[in-house]
Amino acid sequence: MGMPILQVEIVGKPEGGAGNLARRIADAAAEVLKAPPGRVWVRLRVLPRRDYAECGGPLPAAVKPVFVNLLKAKAAPQKARLKESLALARAVGKACARPTENVHVFYDPPGEGRAAFGGELLEK
């Protein structure tokens, strides 16, 4: 069964196009998460800049957000998430050619007992 799953949304055109960006993100995340081949899945979406806004006026050119939703089977302890989220933001930022401070990681509730792969519920 696959885990973890990253849903990545990058605002604006990726440097060099989207080409193999999903693969680069998956490989970078696998290294951070210490996952074997085939176990990290990435769904990538590119959001046009015109469809993203922040309050207070026009979006500065330096702001190039990347949003990462991470689904894992089990939740890691808070201390481990602190290290993991920074490492993941750095790795995804590098893969996307975006500054780390523009990468935002959101942890989804654990998938155990709520996610099914091929109809098989991920259980303890």
pLDDT for res 123? 82
Cα–Cα distance between 57 and 65 in angstroms, integer?
16
**Tokens standing for residue 23:** 């693969």
Among candidates 99, 86, 73, which has minimal Cα distance to 10? Answer: 99
pLDDT band with cut points at 50, 70 and 90 for residue 104: very high
pLDDT band with cut points at 50, 70 and 90 for residue 116: confident
Q: What are phi and psi of 41, to 5 degrees?
A: -110, 140
* pTM tops 0.95, yes or no: no
Question: Cβ distance 51 to 9 under 8 Å?
Answer: no
Q: How far apart are the first and last CA of the chain?
A: 13
Report whether pLDDT(124) > 80: no
Question: Cβ distance 65 to 104 under 8 Å?
Answer: yes
